[in-house]
Amino acid sequence: MNEQTNKIQMKRTLFLLSLLIGWTLQSAAQVEGKLVKVKGQGVYCGEVEMDVTQGADGKYYLYDSKRKICTLIGASLPSLDELAAKGTLRDYIHTEDNGPADDEEYIQEVLSAYKTFDATKYLKTGEVANSTSEFYAYQLKSITIDQLTKDGQDCMPTAESSSAMRIALYYRHTKWTPFFEQILPDAGESPIALDGDEVSQIRAAIPVEGATLEINIMDEEGVNPPVLFKAFFVPDASGVTHIDADGIKATITYEKGGSPLVDAHWGMMQVYDFYKNVLGRDSYDDKGATIYNIIYTPGYSSGKDGMELDDPMPRFLYNLAQCGAEARSYWYPPVMIYGLGGQSLDYETAMPGPYMRAFVELSIMCHEFTHIVTKNTAQLSSSIPSEGGAINESFSDIMAINLIKNDAYGSGSQSPWIVGGQGLIIGKDNIRNLENPKISGDAPQADTYLGENWAKHDKYKMMGVQNKFYYLLCEGGKGTNDNGDSYDMTGIGIDKGTRIAYLTLTKYCSSETDFSTIGECWQQASEELYGKDSAETQAVIRAWAAVGVGNDDVTGVEEINGLQTATEFYYDLQGSVLQTPPSKGIYIIKSVKEHSQIKKVITK
C-alpha cells in the first residue's frame, strides 16, 4: 500500500472505532441511566434523599453510580447442593443427638464452602425500581380474619374447637421466612383480630410491590397436616385492603411508613462517604469496588433445583438470614445481607428470643461493611472461638461508633456508645454497649481480659475487651477492672481515636493478631500518627492496661519521694536519670516537681 492508501485506511479505522466507542457508551448509558436524587422514608433514618439511577424506562433504580452502591431484594443465592457439588459441603441432617459442637462444625463447613463461591452471576445491578420518585413501604396496623372456607366447609375456629392458628405475611408470592408472624395457640374468637401491640410490636413493613397473607390451622389433635389458606394482595394509598379470594375473607389496614430498602441504600451512602471523606478509603478495597446490599433475604436450601425463595432455613442459621445481618466477605464479590427482623433464635439453646426490627440500622451497616474492609486489609480471623475473631468483631463495632459519633455522617459526638440502637431489638436499647460491655443487649460481654464473662470459645463475649479499651482511649475513665487494678485516665477524643483505629486495622493488624499482640499494633499506629512519646500513645498504653492487657500497673500515677529535680528527663523507678528511655518497661517521663514528689506515668 502507498502512503495515501494508508492514510485513507487509517481514517476509516478511526471513524469505525469512534462509532464503536460511541455505540458502546450509548449502550452503557441506556443501561445505567442517569444519576438523580429521590425521596425515601426509612425505618430508622426517616425522610431522606438518595442518589439513585433513572433508567431509560423512566423508572428509578436503587443504584448509585457515583458511589457504586447497589441495593437488591432477595437476589438468588446458591443452594447447599450447588456448593456441595464442589465437594466441600456434606449433607446437613439435624438430629436430637447432635450437640452444639456438631452444629458449629456444620456452620464452619458452610462458611468454608462459601469462601470459594463466586457471587457475580447472582447479582443484578438496579434490581429494585420504582415507577415514581419515592421509595417507602406500608406499615402494618391490623389484620382481621372474617371467614375461612375450604371445599365449602367452614374452617373458622370456635370457642369449642380452640384450634391453633398461625397468621403470617410473606414478601410477594414467595414463601420466605415471614416478615410478620403471629401464633395463636387458642384461636377461639370469631372474627380473629390482630392489632395494637400484636402488630405494633414489630411494625412490619409491607413492600409496596405486594405481599402474601398465609394462614395455617391445625386440627384438634394437632398432628395432621395443616389446612393452608393463601391470598396475595397489593397495598394502595387507601390504607385498607379487603381480601375475598381463595377461601379467605379478611381486612388488612396499614399506613405509609418506612422501608428497610431506604435505610439500606441511604445508610450505605453515609458509610461510603464516611470512609472516603474522613479516612480516605474508596470502597472496601480502596479501588472503588461496587458495594452490594441484599435485603429480604431468602432461606438456605438443599433443594435440587437451586436456591428457591420458598426454601426453609436450617436450624441455627436462621438468625443470620432473617433476624441478623451478615457480611459475606469470603464471597466474590463480597455482599452484605440484612434480615427483615422478627423473633430471634438463641444460637446456643435454639429457644426463641426477643423480637427485632429490620437489621438496617446505620451502625449495623457500618459494622458489616467494616468486616469487608478487614478482609481486604488485616485479614483478621473470623473464627467464633478465636481471639482474632473477637478483635475482628470489635473493630467493626469501633468503626460503627466512629461513624455514629461523626457530626457529618452520623448522629453526632453526643451519641451514646452503642451499636444497634434506635429500637432495633424490641425492649432493649442496644445490641452492644462499648462503654459498659457487661450490659450489652445481645449478651453480657467481658470488659477485662480473662475477666468476668470471658469465654475463649465465643468471640462475641471476648470482643468486649477491645470495645472497652476504645471507650477509655477516647473518653477516659476511672474505675477498677476485674483483676482488681484501678485506673484513672483522660481520653484523647473520638476524632483522634478514629484515625488511630483505622490505621491500626488497615496497616498493623494481621491474620495472626490476638490479644498478646493487639496492644502493640495500636501503639505502633499511634506512634506513626502522633509520636512515640505523645500523650496519645501514652493513652493507648494506659487504656490497654486498664482492660488487663499490657502492664500490670494501670493507675498511671504513683508518688515517689526524695527526687528534687523538675526537669523533663527520664528516670528509672529508683530516681536515677536515664540518658534515653528503654524500649520497654516502666519508667518516669516528663516529671513535674510537686511538693517534693514526682508523678510517675507508664509507657513502653
Please list the residues that pair with 433 across neighbouring strands: 418
pLDDT band for 4, please (50, 70, 90 cuts).
very low
Minimum mean pLDDT range among 49-58, 67-76, 308-317, 320-329:
308-317
List, as one string, the DSSP characters of 464-511.
HHHHHHHHHHHHEEEEE-TTS-EEEEE---HHHHHHHHHHIIIII--T
Grid cell of 320 as nine digits: 443470620
Grid cell of 81 as nine digits: 447442593
List, as one string, the DSSP characters of 321-366.
HTSSEEEETTSBS-EEEE---EEEE-TTT--EEEEE--S--HHHHH
The stretches of 49-188 forming alpha helices (DSSP H) are: 80-84, 100-114
Contact of 541 with 550, CB cutoff 8 Å:
yes
pLDDT at residue 353, rounded to an integer: 73
Q: Cell 478487614 maps to which residue? A: 374
pLDDT band for 486, please (50, 70, 90 cuts).
very high
**pLDDT digits over 104-121, tens only?**
565 566 556 656 667 777
The CA distance from 340 to 356, in Å, is 8
The CA distance from 545 to 604, in Å, is 11
The CA distance from 550 to 351, in Å, is 39
Contact of 203 with 139, CB cutoff 8 Å:
yes
The CA distance from 359 to 425, in Å, is 9
Grid cell of 435 as nine digits: 462503654
Q: Cell 516528663 maps to which residue? A: 590
pLDDT at residue 114, rounded to an integer: 59
Grid cell of 9 as nine digits: 485506511
The CA distance from 184 to 167, in Å, is 8
CA 386 to chain centre: 20
Grid cell of 159 as nine digits: 370457642
Is the pLDDT reported for residue 251 higher than 90?
A: yes
pLDDT at residue 496, rounded to an integer: 98
The CA distance from 197 to 253, in Å, is 15
The CA distance from 423 to 515, in Å, is 32
24: enclosing H helix or E strand: helix 3-32
Minimum mean pLDDT range among 90-104, 290-304, 344-358, 568-582:
90-104
Share of residues in the chain with pLDDT > 90 (%) = 48
pLDDT band for 433, please (50, 70, 90 cuts).
very high
Contact of 286 with 302, CB cutoff 8 Å:
no
Is the pLDDT reported for residue 12 higher than 60?
A: no
Q: Count the Cβ atoms, other than its own, within 10 Å of residue 361.
A: 29
Q: Who contacts 424 (Cβ-Cβ below 8 Å, separation ≥6)?
A: 44, 356, 357, 359, 361, 364, 431
Identify how many contiguous H helices and E strands the chain contains and give both numbers. Answer: 13, 31
**pLDDT digits over 537-596, tens only?**
999 999 999 999 985 444 433 333 333 333 445 555 555 555 555 554 455 544 333 322
The CA distance from 414 to 407, in Å, is 9
The CA distance from 130 to 122, in Å, is 21
pLDDT at residue 383, rounded to an integer: 87
* E-only strand ranges, 476-600: 476-480, 486-490, 559-561, 570-571, 577-578, 593-594, 597-599
Give which of 138, 140, 139, 143 is closest to 236, Cα–Cα. 138
Is the pLDDT reported for residue 188 higher than 80?
A: no
Grid cell of 44 as nine digits: 430508622
Give which of 27, 31, 47 is closest to 39, Cα–Cα. 47
**pTM score of the predicted model:** 0.78
CA 572 to chain centre: 48
Handedness of CA 274, 275, 279, 280 (dihedral sign): negative
State whether residue 142 is helix, strand or coil.
Answer: strand
